Structure 1
């Protein structure tokens, strides 16, 4: 990245706005990837299983045991590996649907993303409220890829074109449409394997001033 593209050249306080942590890649070991895979499956089953009372009691015991195991290791933002392992789906964050970054360039980003049963809103379609979460994350990646300083979402508008399916690899794209000083107007879209437009979004990302959280 050249000096002209370095956000620190535009913003000397880039690393300290609002106390944002510096998210360096984490290397937690293969157990973390196995843990995420199991947890994603557990999330799907938590919203789809129809077990008997004894099984739910046992599941609760195991969940409580897991919470007790990990409780002593709770860490501050930017310290734990979640969201800091680019090689894992969703960068290692259970908050996000599993995605893989395919393109990360100054003129735009592209992701492959696959929703599962956990994200269903009804009739096996992805819940409408999940898509803004995806688009907001895409916007953040777009800003970073474009070399813009740390920014916050001022608004995000989503238009739903078709039902978004689960268990299908979809393509999400995002790019900066226009820049006006601290403002970056961004666009994003989500398409199915046949190229059909499922949803599109536009938003405004505003560069933080010194001291803004």
Structure 2
């Protein structure tokens, strides 16, 4: 195969994968939006597909259930955190890089995400759904594996043989989850960015880079 032909095919595959990823994200975000605003029990796969402007068949090509669709957003966000971590300046302290990467994905810079009490209550109810718990666990396992690879690359460790990158990835996932839960359940609205900063400050003090 000529180099030009190989490059063209590689480009097509890359574009196809990006479009598939965009469709996954659109379906996942539609599922979250509808379930938060309308309640878990009142949302169907048909409604999610319509909200994302795709067919039900397309939905089923990507996800087996609305729980799996919602959990996909968690995996996607953690994948972006891993990408952002690798893009941070060389020599920046690891926990500073992680905080920047996490804040960039958890705290919208354009303030476009709904933050009113109705939205917060809807998120709390959605996250309490038993059907979602198992899918979140699976998505989190995959997310930690990818984040561990990025941490290993940043710290010169091995994601397969060394404990440190796996430990950091697990702690980042757990710390982020704690911050989200605290922000959602606080008696007074607690800005997620401030809670995340507090969490990562404490993590950095107890997990020095080897």
TM more than 0.5: no
Which structure's residues are more often strand, by fraction?
Answer: 1
TM bucket (normalised to shorter chain) is 0.3 to 0.5
TM superposition score normalised by structure 1: 0.37
TM superposition score normalised by structure 2: 0.37
